[in-house]
Amino acid sequence: MPELPEVESARAVIERGGLHRTIVEVDDADTWECRPHRHGEIRDALVGHRLTAAHRRGKSMWCELGGDAPTLGIHLGMSGRIVVTGPDGDDVGGDYVPPRRSARTPREEWYRFSLTFEGGGRLRLLDPRRLGRVRLDPDIDALGPDAAEIGREEFRERVGRGRAPVKARLLDQSVVAGVGNLLADEVLWQAGVDPRRTVDTLRTDDLDALRRQLRSAVRTAVRQGGVHTLEVVPHRGASGHCPRCGSEMARATVGGRTTWFCPREQV
């Protein structure tokens, strides 16, 4: 599933190639992807406007259109990507492509939503599994602060309160927005913290280490092209071993998610 780094990649593609271009047509015919809007409702709201800014908090992304126009929310779901083309039809940019899908040629029906720009070119949502979402004026108020930007004191207060397992707390989007399953395992491994450990047992130093490793992992994943590039992620599996000490990786279920960790180093 796209996590914060992948959504940031998509946001950057829109910022680089999709802003300040007049929208002349909108394909919102996929009413499942565009629910709860009726066919044509998003089109009527967007045609004639321009995207003026692209924003992200956690895994949620939205674009401003200026004036009294609504904002356009785009959620990538588990397999969504943004692809932007220029007037000549050539790619201006496409966001992160998982290695297992990089050689696949997209089928036309996988493009679930599109904006066509004056003079040619489009912004399209490619979503093979149809798990993404496009909506007007998305509500982001329930989200916590962005994982890449949260301050030290706020992180301590939000993550350290209660008795939840630390991994479950990191995955709670109302606490910190943007951390998914793979990123959480990487951060906990880097910080040497057992994912099953309850947050009331974490010292201030532990919380500060988690925040440092979270910010570092996000920067690295954005720079390198996705969470799959992080150090421990390729070792999550039955045959995996800790890249530092060589111990066999252990498996658990925390917060309903499959979790891999080093039983020797994560305490």
**Of the residues 77, 102, 136, which one is the last residue of a structural domain?**
136
Residue 18: the pLDDT is 95
The yes-or-no verdict on residue 25 having pLDDT over 60 is yes
**Of the residues 91, 112, 136, which one is the last residue of a structural domain?**
136
What value does the mean pLDDT take over residues 180-201? 98
**Of the residues 86, 111, 136, which one is the last residue of a structural domain?**
136
What domain range is 242 assigned to?
152-261
The yes-or-no verdict on residue 161 having pLDDT over 80 is yes
Same domain membership, residue 192 and residue 101: no
The yes-or-no verdict on residue 87 having pLDDT over 80 is yes
Residue 214: the pLDDT is 98
DSSP assignment string, the chain: ---HHHHHHHHHHHHHHTTT-BEEEEE---TTTTTTSPTTHHHHHHTT-B--EEEEETTEEEEE--TTPPPEEEE-TTT-EEEEE-TTS-EEEE----GGGTTPPPPGGGEEEEEEETTS-EEEEE-TT---EEEES---TT---BTTT--HHHHHHHHHSSS-BHHHHHH-TTTSBT--HHHHHHHHHHHT--TTSBGGG--HHHHHHHHHHHHHHHHHHHHHTSGGGSSSGGG-STT-B-TTT-PBPEEEEETTEEEEE-TTT--
Same domain membership, residue 171 and residue 129: no
What CATH number should be reported for the domain holding residue 42? 3.20.190.10
Does residue 147 fall inside a structural domain?
A: no
pLDDT digits (tens, 9 = 90+) for 219-263: 999 999 899 999 999 999 999 999 999 999 999 999 999 999 999
Same domain membership, residue 128 and residue 59: yes
Bridge partner residues of 64 (DSSP) = 53
Task: Give the pLDDT band (50/70/90) at residue 2.
Answer: confident
The yes-or-no verdict on residue 88 having pLDDT over 90 is no
Same domain membership, residue 200 and residue 126: no
pLDDT digits (tens, 9 = 90+) for 200-210: 999 999 999 99
The yes-or-no verdict on residue 158 having pLDDT over 70 is yes
Residue 104: the pLDDT is 63
The yes-or-no verdict on residue 216 having pLDDT over 70 is yes
pLDDT digits (tens, 9 = 90+) for 42-82: 999 999 999 999 999 999 999 999 888 999 999 999 889 99
Same domain membership, residue 104 and residue 207: no
Task: Give the pLDDT band (50/70/90) at residue 105.
Answer: confident
Does residue 200 fall inside a structural domain?
A: yes
Residue 171: the pLDDT is 97
What value does the mean pLDDT take over residues 136-151? 96
Does residue 18 fall inside a structural domain?
A: yes
Residues 6+ apart with CB under 8 A from 37: 28, 31, 135, 136
Our count of domains for the chain comes to: 2
Residue 244: the pLDDT is 96
Calculate the average pLDDT of the chain.
Answer: 93
Same domain membership, residue 127 and residue 226: no
What CATH number should be reported for the domain holding residue 161? 1.10.8.50
Same domain membership, residue 97 and residue 164: no
Same domain membership, residue 160 and residue 132: no
Task: Give the pLDDT band (50/70/90) at residue 100.
Answer: low
What value does the mean pLDDT take over residues 142-159? 97
Residue 50 vs residue 88, higher pLDDT: 50
Residues 6+ apart with CB under 8 A from 57: 140, 143, 145, 146, 177, 178
Same domain membership, residue 208 and residue 165: yes
